[in-house]
Amino acid sequence: MQDTTLTCGACSGSFVFTASEQAYYAERGFQFPKRCRSCRQARRRGRRRSQQSSISGSLPAMKPMAPRETYPASCVECGEDMKIPFRLQSPPRCPGCFCEEYSAG
């Protein structure tokens, strides 16, 4: 194979399609490029921008979250008062006592 000069379909400029590039394309069953490298990169950048704008534009506006209701509780181990976001059937442990229990092994 020899280097070939092709004409870009986007900018009508000519570009060299090297023998190694031809072998790479042929080995993978790709069609020869119709655009020069800079036009291919510009096209990819344009696609990424349009995908990003369509993704962000299609999301519904988020509603502000209502504050969660908290419940008073006292730690079983040390008696520390705390507020938790749910009701418990069994008495809770504060984060300090909980971590001590599991780090002791």
In a domain, 13, yes or no: yes
Q: Does pLDDT of 54 surpass 60? A: no
In a domain, 21, yes or no: yes
* Token code pair at residue 94: 């504060």
SS3 8: coil
Number of domains in the chain: 2
Contact 39, 8 (CB under 8 A): yes
**What tens digit of pLDDT does each residue of 6-52 get?**
999 999 999 999 999 999 999 999 999 999 999 999 998 887 766 66
* Token code pair at residue 48: 């990424």
What are the helix (H) ranges across the chain? 19-28, 37-58, 95-104
Do residues 40 and 82 share a domain?
Answer: no
Q: Which residues pair with 75 in a beta bridge?
A: none
Do residues 75 and 52 share a domain?
Answer: no
For residue 24, the enclosing domain spans 4-56
